[in-house]
Amino acid sequence: MKLSPLALMAGFAIPGLRRPALSRGQALTEAALARVPRGIAPVFNQADLTPLSNFPINAYLTEDPGVDPNDWKLSVEGAVANPGDYRLADLRALPKYEQITRHVCIEGWAVIGSFGGARLRDLLAKAGMDPAARFVEVECADDYYESIDIACALHPQTLLCYEMYGQPLTPAHGAPLRLQMPTKLGYKQAKHLVTLRVSTVLGRKRGYWVDQGYPWFGGI
């Protein structure tokens, strides 16, 4: 037992063992975090808002993938009793929630923004989510993709966001629909959603940046 820390250090010193050990450690950490109950993220006042003009924009391939809101639909599939397509009007028919919360980027900046939309949990309930579901995976019009744990999907502050600052989303901010989750880092909050898949087993494509080495859980 006294020698075990030395053995562990030796393992990390060997290049062939370092990456598997780190990957396994990250997986265990993320699994533990996923089991921790998520509290409510801080909510702010209008006076705290970052002006929309000062809200940074990060894009994957392009700030505008050319989505026509009139033709757009969100395809809900996977472990749900009622798969199908949802138009923006269908999402607007769900109870609307507005929140002023902090958006945190892994690059080191953070802003306080105003967001409006439907709770993801309400759409999942309408679609008849399988109680055994563990993940929600999304695909985007610009080929970005992401996945989140079911606890985050059901969190009361996780929105299918179609408004910012009381106005419809602009293409640069993810129109017509994006994820907005004040309990997650910005790269988890995918823009330009077109497919939402409920699953019991996480697919091979876990997230665009996650597959480049970013943490999958991405919590704050």
- How far apart are the C-alpha atoms of 120 and 66, rounded to whole Å? 24
> Which residues have a Cβ under 8 Å from the Cβ of 24 and sit 6 or more positions away?
none
Compute the distance between CA of residue 81 and CA of residue 85 in angstroms, rounded to an integer.
13
User: In Å, how far are 38, 120, 121, 125, 204 from 131, measured between CA atoms?
Assistant: 19, 15, 12, 10, 22
Model confidence over 37-88: pLDDT tens digits?
Answer: 469 999 999 999 999 999 999 998 999 999 999 999 999 999 999 999 999 9
Residues with Cβ within 8 Å of 20's Cβ and at least 6 positions away in sequence, in order, are none
pTM of the predicted model, to two decimals?
Answer: 0.85
Instruction: Give the per-residue pLDDT at 207.
Output: 98
Going 193 to 197 to 198 to 202, the CA torsion angle's sign is: negative
C-alpha–C-alpha distance, residues 141 and 200, integer Å? 24
CB 186 within 8 A of CB 220: no
Domain ranges for the chain: 37-212
Give the closest residue to 177 by CA, choosing from 187, 166, 169, 186: 169
117-139 pLDDT, tens digit each: 999 999 999 999 999 999 999 99
pLDDT of 142 > 80? The answer is yes
Report the chain's mean pLDDT, rounded to a whole number. 89
Question: Is residue 22 scored above 90 in pLDDT?
Answer: no
Q: Which residues pair with 178 in a beta bridge?
A: 161
Query: If pLDDT is split at 50, 70 and 90, which confidence band does 192 have?
Result: very high
d(CA 86, CA 194): 10
pLDDT greater than 80 at residue 23: no
pLDDT, position 15: 54
In this prediction, residues 8-35 reach a mean pLDDT of 48
Q: 90-115 pLDDT, tens per residue?
A: 999 999 999 999 999 999 999 999 99
CATH number of 37-212: 3.90.420.10
Whether residue 36 has pLDDT greater than 70: no
Closest CA to 99 of 57, 155, 60: 155
